[in-house]
Structure 1
Amino acid sequence: MELFFLLLLIVIMAGALGSGFPVAFALPGAAIITITLAAVSGHYFAGDADAYFHSGGPQQWLTAGVTNLRGVYWEVERDTLIAIPLFIFMGIMLQRSKIAEDLLVTMARLFGPVPGGLGISVVFVGALLAATTGIVGATVVAMGLISLPAMLRNGYSQPLATGTIAASGTLGQIIPPSIVLIILADQLASATDQASTMRKALHKEATGELSMPSVFDVTSTSAGEMFLGAFVPGIVLVLIYMAFILIFAILRPKLAPAVPYEGVRDGRFWAEVALTLIPPLALIFLVLGSIIAGIATVNQAGAIGAAGALIMAGYRLPDQDTPGLFIPALIGAVALGLIAFALSAYDMNIKGVISSGGDMTGIWIGALATILLVIALIWSGARVLRIENTMHEVMIETAKTTSLVFIILLGAAMLTAAFRAFGGEELVREFLNSLPGGFWSQFVIVMAVIFVLGFFLDFIEIAVVVVPIVAPILLADPQANITAVWLGVMIGLNIQTSFLTPPFGFALFYLRGVAPPEVKTTSIYKGVIAFIGLQLAALAIVGYTPSLVNYLPNRVSLLSETAPPPRNPKLQLCLEDYVWDKLQTGEEGLRATIAQAQALDLEVLPRSLAGDLGDAFDDASTAIDQMDEIVAADAAVNAAAPAFRPLLSEVRGIQKQVRDRRSHADELLQRARYMNSEAEAERRAELEAEAAVLQGEADEIEATIPAEWAETYATFNALTKAEQQARNTYRRAADGSVEPVNEVLAVLADNAAFAALEDQLRGLEEIILNGDTDTAEAALQEVGSAVNAVAGASAIASPLSSARRDIRRDRRDDAMEEWREAMAEYEEQASWRAPAAEALVPGLTAYLDGIAETIGARQQPSLSRDQALFLASCNAHHRDLSLNF
């Protein structure tokens, strides 16, 4: 019956959507109706309202959607969706400012003489509008009204012209900033948590270990990372479109002819080009550049975009002869320039500057710039409000669109809850996991389903209904070990086709509404076929080359001020690859550096410190030798993997079937335990019998595990453990080659502070002998704290602490003895500290500098630029982890 109600849920939802019922109400309505019917049917036919639910009852699942939505979006930390109304406002305001018209006319003049130039200009403008407005309907309508007549008038074929306009108008779904990417990032953040739990459970079941190494965990994503990840694939898609049009124009010049510009390309022409291109390009740079540079979050970038759109509308909407037309924009530009100057030239931390009595010039410049920027925004806003009440209309449209998005999110949360209530999520998981071919067969099926759903559903419905169900399954699979940002971009590229695929491709409807009567609907459909193929080609390119998505987020993250330290577990494999790569050309120089350090005269140090330094230099040589062990162990694992992997997949598949049956049997027995009445005796017996059958099936399936599995697994497991042991040995040696040296340098760096302790220590003698108890105890505590603050002086602080206890017990003779012990320790350290600093600091510093890029990398406070770039590239590729599960 659970399957019946699951099908009923899908039928009701599909019927409501097909009838034109609003999506925002069709999704929760289908969930509420189906859950209610299941509860009523269970009550009347099985005597239990919970009978036809996979788990729980109707009350739980009716409230689950709202509860989940509140749990996700009402948290203070989850503020991603705040960016949605900001970017919607930005897009609508720019659309009302007729930026598209200016761009299309200007680009047509620039690219017209090139074969297929009009088509290329449409793609170029579509990309710019995607990075500014991102509103598909507005973009397609604007380009359809302006470009389509011009393209047809100049001899372009109807299919090429309409296909180019429709496809270019959808670029806003993948080129950031994009509402789709924000929604996907939010959905994937939740999916990552589920995937992490699933992968940990899988690791525990496969290995028997209670905890999974963090390096195997699933990595989450954010809207900012999604923007960065989609940037390069978006550019790739634009270039594919342009290349297709150019090649088509060269092969079929009559269907995409060049259009010579009849005007004069004088200074006025280029001034108009600059005035048209520079503002939107500057806005793109401010919005995306601030995110890429790590200056602003996505929400802050959305505010920047909204403010920029308002200022651009302030000079674009009025008549060109309006007095002071560009003054607000110029004031805003000056304000931004002053802010950038102040940030680069002064300390802008107000609290820090005031507390330290520093230079307030930067603060005053920043305050002046802020006032100017506010003036520019108010001035521009007043203009926009006065001209045809544009501000009011834009705000209303923003509120409507934002409300629609959030209502759909709520409805999708309720629909997803109902889907899970009837076991739909487990059904999907079992289906995908049962497919031959592992992860990639699952991924292809999911992409195909999303592609087909794009024929009927909008991108928001797909993102909020399908992604929460399938994303955790795909992210949890250790075979491909994909990143959430890559999966999000792949889904985003796939969803983009939903605007072009008949029968409900929205871009087709928008274009049909503004196309001239002579343009047939069949021509529009024919035109988009090629571009759908190009989108699928881009999907294949990005799928085959994950570094196109992963590299830029990795690069920005690893080069930022908040980059993870070199000891981060997720960086170690690539960091060791980096060290090995450096050793291929620099091992001789590295060993020479170690030899010079070993030649230092350590006799000036106490025996313990000298021994630690000697061990550190030995560890450095060990770390270099251990890299060869790592490479050899890794080669052994890679050599055995091809023969082991098929057997591993077969056995893990068998074990999964066994787990599923035993788990289902346990659930049935658990339900049977609560059926204690006589009326439920028959049903209890049925459940127990069904559980026994499942246990029997599990035993039979378990018996099919190949006899050689235990021995083969033990052999391969020994190889992987040997590799991990080699890596752990290297890491201990690498750390040991640096830590003692840093400790000695820290001790010697505090020599001045150490020398300053002498007067305080000697002054304690009189206080201990003649001072009152409270005074002596306070003095000892104060001096002891000062001693503890000096590196390497803890041996002096210990007797001072004992002396303080003796004073408290009124044993002054004992306290004096402890003080003499402290002074003896002080004088001993004073005898070697200065000579050691003079003899050893230059050599130890040179040693650390010499190993910092290789075996000493793990102990550095941050990654060097070369290391960060190497690790960004290395981690941009997906690493198969299935052999560890």
Structure 2
Amino acid sequence: MDYLSILLFISVCIVLLSGYPVAIALAGTALSFAGLGYVFGVFDGAFMHALPSRIFGIMNNQTLLAVPLFVFMGVTLERSKIAESLLLAISQLFSKFRGGLAFAVIFVGALLAASTGIVGATVVTMGLLSLPAMLKQKYSPAIATGTICAVGTLGQIIPPSIALVLLGDVISNAFQQAQLDMGIFSPESVSVGDLFVGAIIPGIMLVMLYMLYILAIAFFKPELLPKIDLKQQDRPDIRTLVGAILPPLLLIFVVLGSILFGFATPTEAAAIGAFGALLLAAFKGGLNLENIKAINQATVRCTSMVFLILIGASLFSLVFRGLGGEELIHQLFNGLPGGLFTATLLVMLIIFLLGFILDFIEITFVVVPIVAPVLLAMGLDPVWLGIMIALNLQTSFLTPPFGFALFYLRGVAPKTVKTTQIYKGVMPFILIQLLVLIALAIWPELSTWLPKQVFEVEY
């Protein structure tokens, strides 16, 4: 029976690779194995009775309301050309510095990641806006593409992030399950807000290290980052700079600040962000009927995809549990030499490899619910685990030859840019992310200290 659960997991990965819609692949494969297990007497049909309550729980989950609201916020900022104006103003501001355009890309990419929270949207937007300008200024194609890919993946870790919203919900459920398995009945749990706050220090570390790398290149290999010599009339005035930089900065500060200072939950902060994005778009004159229609359609498509996958994943996890998969994972982890360290390392390696073939949504809903309860029951901090998984996936999406960010940029990059140049350009950024991962592994307080100060919660 236990090995049938492993066969279920392998089969789901194979079906996902075949190109079937994720939600249908998860639900269909799980139902097939449930029927097979029931015929051979190794699956209790009572597990399926829990499915309606799980689906109702998804529909009634206040935390998941943040998903369409943050998507709406990000798409609105993108469609209203706010990101484009911001990039132009920042690049002109940094123009007198060598590598100034790369610094502008990192700065704007970080803000865009905080606004959209979606890797594909950030990479494509930055690729279309900044890559032609960087190549025109004779920047090294490898550094230009590497910088864009790296800042694009910041959407995984910089709050408010869709990935952290989904991870927070799954980690919270896993934490409660781990407590029940240990016979602990406690009202304490981990929230999306905990993950948002826990991701602030690692996110800032990544941005600072990216900038430090560009600074080192500008100092040691200045020929790779030519200095832009703007004419006086092309330099932005103070009013233009303030108008481009202040509104999105203020919006992000209000969204995150309302969570940090306890004025709003992440869902309420998402509503504030969506309304604020509408106001900014209207102020910029980008809130016409065509844009409103495109924004709503993009939000509905993304939200429908997320919730359909979540329903399919709920069915998958029920069948996996019914086939004894969770007990098998417990036995495997407890039998590993090195205990918790080896188990955590193995999980991180599996998630890293799966990041080559699966999107973060599938990994969050399929893999994390399987392994997280076991790891949390073994004593891991839930906030640390969530941040490590997000950073791990961010690194996976950047790693050749299968990283999603590389494919997104390849799709919008000019043909003159070689794929090998993109691969070469991301290598230093991969090393930076691995350094941050190692730092988090050695000093978990980098992700756990701030949430404990803000929310005063001990796990």
Q: TM-score, normalised by structure 2?
A: 0.94
Q: 2:377 aligns with which of 476, 479, 485?
A: 476
2:430 maps to: 532
1:156 maps to: 139
Name which structure has the greater RCO, CA cutoff 8 Å, separation 6+: 2
Q: 1:85 and 1:540 mapped to 2: Cα distance?
A: 33
Calculate percent identity across the aligned residue pairs. 49
Residue 60 (structure 1) aligned with residue 28 (structure 2) = no
Residue 508 (structure 1) aligned with residue 409 (structure 2) = no
2:257 maps to: 289
Q: 1:222 and 1:136 mapped to 2: Cα distance?
A: 22
1:419 maps to: 320
Matches within 5 A, 1:215-614: 220-263=189-232, 269-318=237-286, 384=287, 387-478=288-379, 482-558=380-456
3-state SS of 1:170 partner = helix
Q: 2:9 and 2:179 mapped to 1: Cα distance?
A: 28
Q: CA deviation at 1:136?
A: 2.4
Q: CA deviation at 1:295?
A: 0.9
Unpaired runs of 5+ residues, structure 2, are: none
Q: CA deviation at 1:7?
A: 4.2
Q: 1:225 and 1:488 mapped to 2: Cα distance?
A: 10
**8 A Cα contact 2:118 2:162, kept in partner:** no
Flag the 1:62–1:495 CA change in 2: closer, same or farther, 3 A: same
> How many residues end up aligned between the 2 structures?
459
**8 A Cα contact 2:202 2:446, kept in partner:** yes
Unpaired runs of 5+ residues, structure 1, are: 43-49, 201-211, 319-383, 559-563, 565-569, 571-874, 876-885
Flag the 1:188–1:95 CA change in 2: closer, same or farther, 3 A: same
CA displacement, residues 335-358 of structure 1 (integer Å, 9 cap, x when unaligned): xxxxxxxxxxxxxxxxxxxxxxxx
Flag the 1:512–1:111 CA change in 2: closer, same or farther, 3 A: same
Q: 1:417 and 1:524 mapped to 2: Cα distance?
A: 41
Q: CA deviation at 1:264?
A: 5.2
Q: 1:68 and 1:146 mapped to 2: Cα distance?
A: 42
Letter in 2 for 1:404: M
3-state SS of 1:389 partner = helix
Q: 1:195 and 1:60 mapped to 2: Cα distance?
A: 21
Q: CA deviation at 1:265?
A: 8.4
3-state SS of 2:232 partner = coil
Flag the 1:263–1:429 CA change in 2: closer, same or farther, 3 A: farther
- 4+ residue runs over 6 A deviation: none
Q: 2:6 and 2:295 mapped to 1: Cα distance?
A: 41
1:850 maps to: none
Q: CA deviation at 1:62?
A: 4.0
Letter in 2 for 1:245: I
Letter in 1 for 2:371: V
**8 A Cα contact 1:195 1:218, kept in partner:** no
Q: 1:497 and 1:61 mapped to 2: Cα distance?
A: 36
Q: 1:236 and 1:118 mapped to 2: Cα distance?
A: 20
Letter in 2 for 1:286: V
**8 A Cα contact 2:117 2:163, kept in partner:** no
Letter in 1 for 2:433: Q
Q: 2:306 and 2:333 mapped to 1: Cα distance?
A: 30
CA displacement, residues 269-322 of structure 1 (integer Å, 9 cap, x when unaligned): 12111100000011011111111111111111111101110011112235xxxx
**8 A Cα contact 1:119 1:164, kept in partner:** yes
Flag the 1:66–1:170 CA change in 2: closer, same or farther, 3 A: farther
Q: 2:24 and 2:50 mapped to 1: Cα distance?
A: 17
Q: CA deviation at 1:153?
A: 2.2
CA displacement, residues 156-203 of structure 1 (integer Å, 9 cap, x when unaligned): 222211111011112111111111111111111111112213344xxx
**8 A Cα contact 2:68 2:303, kept in partner:** yes
1:763 maps to: none
Flag the 1:498–1:60 CA change in 2: closer, same or farther, 3 A: farther
Q: 1:148 and 1:240 mapped to 2: Cα distance?
A: 21
Flag the 1:434–1:403 CA change in 2: closer, same or farther, 3 A: same
Q: 2:203 and 2:314 mapped to 1: Cα distance?
A: 29
**Higher Rg:** 1
2:97 maps to: 114
Q: 2:402 and 2:301 mapped to 1: Cα distance?
A: 22
Q: 2:452 and 2:296 mapped to 1: Cα distance?
A: 37
Q: TM-score, normalised by structure 1?
A: 0.50
Letter in 2 for 1:29: G
**8 A Cα contact 1:134 1:173, kept in partner:** yes
Q: 1:198 and 1:218 mapped to 2: Cα distance?
A: 15
CA displacement, residues 17-65 of structure 1 (integer Å, 9 cap, x when unaligned): 111111121111111112223333x2xxxxxxx2x33xxx2x3344444
Letter in 1 for 2:278: L
1:175 maps to: 158
RMSD: 2.2
Flag the 1:2–1:135 CA change in 2: closer, same or farther, 3 A: closer
**8 A Cα contact 2:119 2:152, kept in partner:** yes
Q: 2:384 and 2:2 mapped to 1: Cα distance?
A: 34
Q: 2:6 and 2:181 mapped to 1: Cα distance?
A: 26
